Structure 1
């Protein structure tokens, strides 16, 4: 392991004890299918996934610095479509070139690189056999005026398979006006992806302007994101990507006055979660069939304290029972050497035996 435990403690600062000494008394760790070197054999092999899917899942878990640990570190770079190429790559124009995206994932010791049909297809013959590809099959194209915030298909499962991809990824904006259509499209695509032998990763994002109310953004509420995860695993996603929860009580906030939204049980808040970030994330893991589908949390936007923020997110995910991090902008919106460094810091959390399941 490259970075010492003391160095990681220093990066956590005053939150070190708060995060590392926390004991989860909501959903016990013994109830989880926890990540481990044998996860494919122990968990996925009990499912209806065919042998080719299991082989590709093993490809993901057997690559990079985290190989054979049961944890994943994935570099996602689909922001050129989702956030526009200029907004994403102006800080570091080298990443307009798809080869540099793949090189960053390889130099950074990632398990896989996730990107668009165009990015991965443009370098597939050179790199598809050298690092697992995750092809993102749908996007919010962002040029429609006014912005519609809809996910539409950009290619086919057969294209991803022919490219040599180990997995496909997709986003559903749960709660959005077009979520029903997205659910149907992704369900069909994931079913066929499994049929031809690829693993599936679902970005389970909440999206509705009404989810911001009373000065609080409930897009990152544990109860709403937890249910989004539960819908994701219902679609048989093998791995769920979700934002780290920051609050709770989304159902309560949206069930006020004349409005009625979803269904809730008070035990969601009193017994299944507290306001501690590890407990909130444990609730997300529980909604992934108690960890039978792995939870990977997103790294978030680049900011002032990227290295410390990345380590903190990794600690929360690991101690909650998650399967790893999928972090992009923090890595590619800086020189490659620094991007590699931040990816390695994330991986060091999962390689550190002293950071355990809460």
Structure 2
């Protein structure tokens, strides 16, 4: 692990960590045969298996069982100006696709509009992951709700390999979103596409004066469990930072094991609980790369990738750290993330 000697002490400590919560032997571990082990016995059709194969066998991580996805839907979720202001070239959607291709990604996740402008040029060059719902911020005052921006059939006509959607679990609108997305995923599977679910928690009560439980592993883990229940093929989740959401906010059902033996304070242990809630890794967990903070992005990206990989996750879906910097630097950052998953010395904790 000498290649990480120039990184922070925190990163080096993550490489030495031994997980004493959920044993790695219980996990369905990523690997070249992951689809054969975990999806061939399932109800997924040959067409869906083919789409999953396209995702797992593209880019620099092809055939490893790991995923590196470039997501660019922030133009809707965060406004286009705030997202592309640091690098205006990405107002042109073709540059988003170019970044994913040059960055060696397994797939690119973005909007109907982006894919619609370049579909014939790139549908055969990189798998398309069409994000079918969004939270838009033009409504005033802002509201937080995921609404459909198009149909599953429209995504299929664009040449999509997969569709993606977000559910704000815990929100007032979550029941409607669960129904909408589960129906959309059923239709996507009928058409032969894979499905990816952004399993985010959202409720004002989840954030207190001293702690943000939106990134608590017990809440996010349960969101993951709901996501795999509606047959998402891949789960996207924020990296956990704490625990105790159900316990401290005094709702839901808990067991002392959730806070004593199934998780611990180390980020790898917190993330392993998320993996466990993805059917012990039968459904892959990819964590989000988070916002761009400038000079620390490379270190943070490496740290996040190490946490995800050593916990039993399957990769990162990282956008702003890549597209909010010069093109060549964005490509290099994506390669840096992928290098962690290509490094045989970074193993399960």
Common fold by TM > 0.5: yes
Deviations 1:165-207, CA, capped at 9 Å, x for gaps:
1100000000111000000000000001001100000000011
Q: Is the 8 A contact 1:9 1:16 kept in 2?
A: no
Partner of 1:22: 17
State which drifts further: 83-92 or 16-25.
Answer: 16-25
Report the TM-score, using the length of structure 2 for normalisation: 0.98
Q: Say whether 1:103 aligns with 2:65.
A: no
Residue 309 of structure 2 is aligned to residue 318 of structure 1 = yes
Q: Is the 8 A contact 1:240 1:296 kept in 2?
A: yes
**TM value normalised by structure 1:** 0.96
Query: Is the 2:185–2:232 contact (alpha carbons within 8 Å) kept by the matching residues of 1?
Result: yes
1:289 counterpart = 2:279: yes
Contact 1:296 1:326 in 2 (8 A): yes
| In 2: Cα distance, 1:331 partner to 1:16 partner | 20
Report how far residue 282 of structure 1 moved.
0.2
Which aligned pairs between 1:115-134 and structure 2 lie closer than 5 A? Answer: 115-134=110-129
Q: 1:275 aligns with which of 260, 265, 279?
A: 265
Matched, 1:140 2:135: yes
Is 1:8–1:311's contact at 8 Å kept on the other side of the alignment? Answer: no
Q: How far, CA to CA, are the matches of 1:24 and 1:199 in structure 2?
A: 31
What is the match of residue 4 of structure 2? Answer: 8
State the distance in 1 between where 2:340 and 2:195 align: 25
- SS of the aligned residue for 2:40 comes to helix
Moved over 6 A (4+): none
2:332 and 2:344 map into 1 onto residues whose CA distance is 20
Distance 2:173 2:12 in 1: 43
Q: 1:92 aligns with which of 87, 102, 106?
A: 87
Measure the CA separation in 1 of the matches of 2:201 and 2:104.
30
CA apart distance, 1:253: 1.7
5 Å matches for 1:185-224?
A: 185-224=180-219
**CA separation in 1, counterparts of 2:44 and 2:170?**
29
Contact 1:204/1:240 (<8 A) preserved? yes
Q: Is the 8 A contact 2:4 2:12 kept in 1?
A: no
Distance in 1 (CA, whole Å) between partners of 2:150 and 2:326 is 31
Task: Tell me the residue number matched to 1:258.
Answer: none
C-alpha distance in 2 between matches for 1:164 and 1:6: 43
* Cα separation, 1, equivalents of 2:198 and 2:4: 28
Aligned length: 348
